[in-house]
C-alpha cells in the first residue's frame, strides 16, 4: 500500500499545488521523453526551467472529455479507481507520477490514452511503455491496465470509434525500469545543478 504522505497533491483539489508538486521531482512524462535520447533529454531540461502550461487543441479536448468515461469503464471492469494525485516514490521522493487510476490495494494502476490510431498490443508507442514502467516503479504496483480509445472525425467533430476502450495488461519490466532510474537521476542532477 502507498502511505498517505506519498500522495502529494491532486489536480482536482488544487491545480496550483499539483503543478508545484510536479516541479519537486521527475515525472513519468519527463523521464519517458528524456530516455528517448540526447535531444529528448535536453528538451525536458529546457521545459523544466519554463512555466508549465497544458497545451490545448481539439485532440487534447477530446481526451479531457473522454477520460472520465474511460476511467468509469475501468472502474466497472477492473475495480480501478480514477486518480488525480501526484505520488512520490517510497524512498526516492523526487521520483513522481500521476497514474490515471489506482486499485484500492494499490497493486494495479491504469493509464488512459486517446489516439487517432488503433495500436494493438504490440503497437503501443515506446514513450507510453516507458511512462507506464516509471509509474509502476514509483507506485510499487505490479501491473498496469493500459486503455486506449480511438477517435475519428465525423462532420467536423471528433467522436470515439468504439463503445468502450480497448485494454491490455502491462507488467513490470525491471530492465526498462533500471534504465529509467538512471535517466531520472541524471535529469534531476541537471535540473538542480545545471
Domains, the chain, in order of start with CATH, read 4-193 (3.90.320.10)
Residue 26: strand pairing partners: 95
Q: Are 164 and 128 in contact (CB under 8 A)?
A: no
- Across the chain, what does the average pLDDT equal? 91
Q: Where does residue 79 fall: left (phi above 0), alpha (psi -120 to 50 degrees), or beta otherwise?
A: left
Q: 168 by DSSP, 3-state: which?
A: strand
Banded model confidence at residue 126, pLDDT cuts 50, 70, 90: very high
Q: 53 by DSSP, 3-state: which?
A: coil
- Structure confidence at residue 98 (pLDDT): 96
Check pLDDT > 70 for residue 17: yes
For cell 468502450, the residue is: 164
- Structure confidence at residue 76 (pLDDT): 96
Distance between CA atoms of residues 28 and 136, nearest Å:
10
Q: Which pTM value belongs to this model?
A: 0.92
| 172 vs 122 pLDDT, higher one | 172
First to last CA, the chain: 35
- Structure confidence at residue 46 (pLDDT): 86
Q: Are 178 and 134 in contact (CB under 8 A)?
A: no
Residue 94: CB atoms within 10 A of its CB come to 15
- Let me know how long the chain is: 194
Amino acid at each position: 500500500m502507498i502511505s498517505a504522505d506519498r500522495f502529494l497533491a491532486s489536480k482536482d483539489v488544487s491545480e496550483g499545488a499539483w503543478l508545484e508538486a510536479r516541479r519537486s521531482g521527475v515525472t513519468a512524462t519527463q523521464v519517458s521523453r528524456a530516455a528517448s535520447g540526447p535531444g529528448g533529454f535536453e528538451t525536458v531540461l529546457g521545459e523544466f526551467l519554463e512555466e508549465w502550461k497544458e497545451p490545448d487543441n481539439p485532440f487534447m479536448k477530446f481526451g479531457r472529455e473522454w477520460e472520465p468515461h474511460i476511467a468509469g469503464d475501468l472502474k466497472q471492469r477492473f475495480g480501478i479507481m480514477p486518480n488525480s494525485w501526484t505520488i512520490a516514490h517510497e524512498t526516492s521522493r523526487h521520483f513522481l507520477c500521476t497514474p490515471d487510476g489506482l486499485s484500492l490495494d494499490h497493486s494495479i494502476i491504469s493509464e488512459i490514452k486517446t489516439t487517432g490510431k488503433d495500436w494493438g498490443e504490440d503497437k503501443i508507442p515506446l514513450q507510453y511503455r516507458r511512462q507506464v514502467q516509471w509509474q509502476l516503479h514509483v507506485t510499487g504496483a505490479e501491473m498496469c491496465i493500459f486503455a486506449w480509445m480511438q477517435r475519428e472525425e465525423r462532420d467536423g467533430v471528433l467522436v470515439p470509434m468504439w463503445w468502450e476502450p480497448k485494454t491490455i495488461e502491462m507488467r513490470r519490466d525491471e530492465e526498462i525500469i533500471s534504465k529509467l532510474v538512471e535517466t531520472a537521476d541524471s535529469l534531476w542532477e541537471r535540473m538542480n545543478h545545471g
